[in-house]
Amino acid sequence: MNLTLPEPSREMSARSEQLQQIIVDEIHSSGGWIPFDHYMERVLYTPGLGYYSTLSGLGAEGDFITAPEISPLFSRVVARQIMPLLAPLERPIVMELGAGSGVMAAELLLELERCQQLPEGYWILELSGGLRARQQQTLEERIPHLLERVRWLEHLPDSPFQGVVVANEVVDAIPVERFIVRQGRTLPLGVSTNPDGALTWSESHEDAPSLVPEDIETTGLAEGYCSEWRPAATSWIAALSDCLARGALLLVDYGYARSEYYRPERQQGTLSCFYRHHRHEDPLILPGLQDITAHVDFTALAEAADAVGLGVAGYTSQAYFLLAGGLTELAEAEGGDELSHRIETSRAIQQLTMPAQMGEVVKVMALTRDVALPETFTLHDQRHML
């Protein structure tokens, strides 16, 4: 294990070893090799052992921090941006996918209440039992008067609804397939075991079919170039489309348009791991104890949306989305005379909007059905880059 990472507790180590043994057994029963998307699915979502099934903490007490944890202003701007989408709908619903600590849900509902635009209901689809309990505690403390509107789901609703689906840093956790360029071909890169039984990267056999679809341009990439793609996102978009009778899907995530994603200099792709606020690039250690993510190919999401009849209505950077949506105006109106508060707010805005922080690499995409985006969303539209 990388000695620069904090040591897990004995209990966590035992849980990780149990999950690793399950994966090793699957590798042996599959001829000594499994594709990486299967490995990623296992370590993130295996019931009772996978990272997201046991995750209970975010922010300072977790492995990473998300925009809603940085500042309530983020969620307040999101609320302002989706209000025009909710207004024309009949009995609108807001459905949040993976609600983290519940902070975003609380701030969204409070801002919608201030603006007299509360939805009929607020649904939270959460896979982690630990996070679900955390969310319930947060909402009981922050918005007890609005709790009757909140409903937790274990799967997507069976019947279509009108409303807005919010997915903040969700797509990046959908498992990816990995590929490596060998003699101009893209071959699958998966997981095997070495003679000592440890997990290791492994290329598939040379007679394996080319992995990535033809519309991903990999010609000219150097020998050994490694990256990923996310075919599961296509069915994910289709499933969400089936739920949405009218409204919008708001996607906020780290990512690029395809032409930017597969740049020659990005030779190892975008795969990242997060463990107790340490970022590294080895997904084969600490199975079940660390988050594994990869950036989003937003061109692929646009293609998937188009295939199921959703309109790709807007695509922009997080900085443009927040600033056009009134981030600085909300900060000024919030006031606060204490110098420490003003400094904290200024730092949060910089982290959310500066290109070197989250402002440029995090993108916002709106997929719509029979609703129009507000001008504040399309003011700095970048769909031409997709």
pLDDT at 1 over 50: no
Band (pLDDT 50/70/90 cuts) for residue 215 is low
Q: How far is CA 9 from CA 6, 15, 190, 285, 335, in A?
A: 9, 10, 28, 15, 43
Closest to 134 in 3D by CA, of 146, 123, 126: 126
Q: What are phi and psi of 184, to 5 degrees?
A: 80, 0
CA angle (378, 293, 154) in 5-degree steps: 80
Band (pLDDT 50/70/90 cuts) for residue 261 is very high
- Give long-range contacts, CB 8 A cutoff, 24+ apart: 15-22: 15/49, 15/54, 15/288, 15/289, 16/286, 16/287, 16/288, 16/289, 18/49, 19/43, 19/46, 19/49, 19/50, 19/287, 19/288, 20/199, 20/287, 20/288, 22/46, 22/49
Distance from chain centroid for Cα 183: 33
Give me the pLDDT at residue 338, please: 79
Give me the pLDDT at residue 342, please: 83
Residue 151, strand partner residues: 123
The tokens for 57 are: 């903490």
- What is the CB neighbour count within 10 angstroms for residue 90? 10
Band (pLDDT 50/70/90 cuts) for residue 209 is low
Question: What 3 state SS string does 154-190 have?
Answer: CCCCCCCEEEEEEEECCHHHCCCEEEEEECCEEEEEE
C-alpha to C-alpha distance for 23 and 284, rounded to whole angstroms = 11
Give me the pLDDT at residue 213, please: 65
C-alpha to C-alpha distance for 82 and 112, rounded to whole angstroms = 9
- Count, residues in the chain: 386
**Helix or strand or coil: residue 372?**
coil
C-alpha to C-alpha distance for 230 and 298, rounded to whole angstroms = 11
pLDDT at 214 over 90: no
C-alpha to C-alpha distance for 59 and 312, rounded to whole angstroms = 32
Angle between helices 72-86 and 339-353 in degrees, nearest 10: 60
Distance, first Cα to last Cα, the chain: 39
Give me the pLDDT at residue 2, please: 47
CATH class held by domain 59-174+231-385: alpha beta
C-alpha to C-alpha distance for 374 and 325, rounded to whole angstroms = 9
Ordered by start, the domain boundaries in the chain are: 59-174+231-385
The tokens for 253 are: 């995530």
Summarised one tens digit per residue, pLDDT across range 125-153 is 998 888 899 999 999 999 999 999 999 99
pLDDT at 359 over 70: yes
C-alpha to C-alpha distance for 380 and 255, rounded to whole angstroms = 17
pLDDT at 368 over 80: yes
C-alpha to C-alpha distance for 195 and 190, rounded to whole angstroms = 17
C-alpha to C-alpha distance for 363 and 298, rounded to whole angstroms = 8
Summarised one tens digit per residue, pLDDT across range 17-65 is 999 999 999 999 998 999 999 999 999 999 999 998 887 655 555 567 8
The tokens for 191 are: 């997981």
Mean pLDDT of the chain: 92
Give me the pLDDT at residue 339, please: 79
Summarised one tens digit per residue, pLDDT across range 220-259 is 789 999 999 999 999 999 999 999 999 999 999 999 999 9
Q: What are phi and psi of 181, to 5 degrees?
A: -85, 120
